[in-house]
Structure 1
Amino acid sequence: MAALATAPAGDPRGETDVRPFLRTVAVAVAAGLATAGLFAAPANAASDATVTVVHGVALPAAADVSVWAGDTKLIADLKYKDVKTLTVPAGTYDLYVTPVGATDTSGALITAKGVAVPAGANATVVANEVGGTPNLKVFVNSTKATAAGMARVTARHTADAPTVDVLVNGQKAFGNLKPGAEQSAEVPAGTYDVAVQAGGSDVPGLSASGLALKAGTSYYAYAVGDADNGYSLVLQTIDVGTGTTMPGSVPAGDGSSQSTPWGALALGVGGLALVAAFSRRLVRARG
């Protein structure tokens, strides 16, 4: 097992094999994401990876957890809605999530063995819920510079909730964002009023007004939680800088996204709406 100072948490109930996804990450890096600048790092970046952990399991039994790699406790106390970004050496890890205060991993709530972390990757691991069961969802993050005057927004539906619609300034701008899905676009920097609806009704906690997006910033927004314990909003941001050209059409931020002219508005503002709403409850990384 590779040595590391800090490492991410896996997060499904029971044992989960995320190696197929991580192999996909490695292919993406080899295909050019690394050259686009997946993350800002020191000279040893070629042997490291960046992993952000989002704790999105609202179940009381998983409210406060510790994260281990083998027998080493890496994160002593990770609370619901916390975000932790880690730089880790590339390697393969056995990860465990235990209740806070555990002295070993024998009573682990979550086990993920043989997790491969490829060099150069920038990924987010979201511990969320699907049908009331803890689940692990992994995303690749693009940190390519935005066009001049633009912000990149990626909406990630990781709540135990139905498909949602997004309203911007009172009008439906994006519909049918499904659980587990993500959408990305570059949008003009600015301030917006947004609301998120399910079945025509506002989702409690997912509305906000006067929300600003800054040029040269990549926003990754996550809806987490469930109907019984409430929904919450978590935002991860990455400063990526800007290019020099204002595009005629706006490319999406990652491989799962779609391209759209800004004038079409549907995807761009839809992605923006979730991101903007999430920024109301910005969750900063715990040290």
Structure 2
Amino acid sequence: MMKKAQWWRIGVIAAVVAALIGVATPANASPQQSWRPFGISQVSVFHGVPATPVDVYVNGLRVLNDFQPGTFAGPYLLPSGTYRLAITAADARNDRNPVIGPLTVSFARNTSYTVAAHLTPAGAPTATVFTNDISRTPQGTGRLIVRHTAAAPAVDVLAGGAPVIKNLTNPHQVALVLPAGTVNAAVALAGTTAPVIGPAAVPVKAGTDTIVYAWGSAAAGNLTVAVQSLRQGTLFDVPWMSRH
């Protein structure tokens, strides 16, 4: 007879596959009663490996096909739990020879994550799971988060030509709470002011996390940024989300 834990794992696998192929509840939609047996996590995926379309597998099943560099998938609402992720070449028939992974990733309930496929400082493919702080900032402000996911040394982030974030290294992040508006930002190698990315106008919206990923390769000359926006607040404002 199959153990209860095995049935639970089968249910999780089925739910995550449905979620990542677009059947799951959108992140801005109301929760459904069918989610009640599970905790819920919010998960996005970022592809930051240049010139390399990929497929993404979850627990051995392909859930993203021909995923293009510089793009995001999600956010999706998934049952909280532990998953095995693998990222393969886009023409792979299965996940037996991944270019990244396999990774064992745990997603906690009522928590937001972004799984970023990117390059190490030395230029090798890797993945980092970032926890997104989507707690509410004061009224009229937003959160600007900068994540270093590029094959590049430490960098400074400049605003108006002056460093506001110093010595940021791959794969780390820094968050700033700022008044809503537009920030004229650039990225320079640490200790310098000559931009290697930008300058560019970055909008900071009230009640929103604006997440800027520096990605690409300094050696290949293709450093650039990708921007993700997440609404602040709890995933669901319903009583059962806070139960343990």
Question: How would you bin the TM-score normalised by the shorter chain?
Answer: 0.7 to 0.9
Mapped contact 2:58–2:84 kept (Cα < 8 A) = yes
1:113-153 deviation digits (Å, cap 9, x = unpaired): 54333332211111111111112212111111221111111
Higher relative contact order (CA 8 A, sep 6+): 1
Superposition RMSD in Å: 2.6
Distance, in Å, in 2 between the alignment partners of 1:92 and 1:172 is: 39
**Which residue number in structure 1 is paired with residue 39 of structure 2?**
47
Identical positions, percent: 30
Q: Aligned pair 1:112/2:102, yes or no?
A: yes
Given that 1:39 and 1:143 are in contact with CA atoms closer than 8 Å, whether structure 2 keeps it comes out as no
Counterpart in the other structure of 1:252: none
More strand per residue: 1 or 2? 2
Label 1:188 to 1:108 Cα distance change in 2 as closer, same or farther (>3 A). same
Q: Secondary structure at the match of 1:6?
A: helix
User: Does the 8 Å CA contact 1:51/1:88 hold for their aligned counterparts?
Assistant: yes
CA contact (8 A) 2:43 2:114 kept: yes
Q: Describe the SS at the equivalent of 1:159.
A: strand
5+ long unaligned stretches in structure 1: 9-37, 242-287
Q: Tell me what 2:236 maps to.
A: none
Give the stretch that moved more between structures: 110-119 or 176-185: 110-119
* Gap runs ≥5 in structure 2: 1-8, 22-26, 234-244
* 2:183 is equivalent to residue 192 of structure 1: yes
1:66 equivalent in structure 2: 55
Match of 1:26 in 2: none
Decide whether aligned partners of structure 1 residues 110 and 147 sit closer, same or farther in structure 2, where only a CA change above 3 A counts. same
Task: Write the mapping of 1:250-261 to structure 2, written as runs, cut at 5 A.
Answer: none
**Cα distance change of structure 1 residues 135 and 146 upon mapping to structure 2, 3 Å threshold:** same
Q: CA deviation at 1:7?
A: 4.5
* TM superposition score normalised by structure 1: 0.64
Q: Secondary structure of the equivalent of 1:158? A: strand
Aligned match of 1:89 = 79
Give per-residue Cα distances to partners, 1:168-188, cap 9 Å, x unaligned. Answer: 223333322223221112111
Change (3 A) 1:41 1:134: farther
Q: Which has the higher helix share?
A: 1
Count residues in correspondence: 208
Instruction: Tell me the residue number matched to 1:254.
Output: none
Which amino acid in structure 2 is aligned with residue 57 of structure 1? V
**Hey, which bits of structure 1, 4+ residues long, moved more than 6 A?**
none
Q: 1:78 corresponds to which letter in structure 2?
A: F
Q: Which residue pairs with 1:157 in the alignment? A: 148
TM-score by structure 2 length?
A: 0.75
2:62 alignment partner AA: K
Partner of 1:77: 66
1:139 maps to 2:153: no
Separation (CA, whole Å) in 1 of partners of 2:98 and 2:163: 43
Cα distance in 2 between the residues matched to 1:114 and 1:176: 30
- The answer for the alignment partner of 1:265 in structure 2 is none
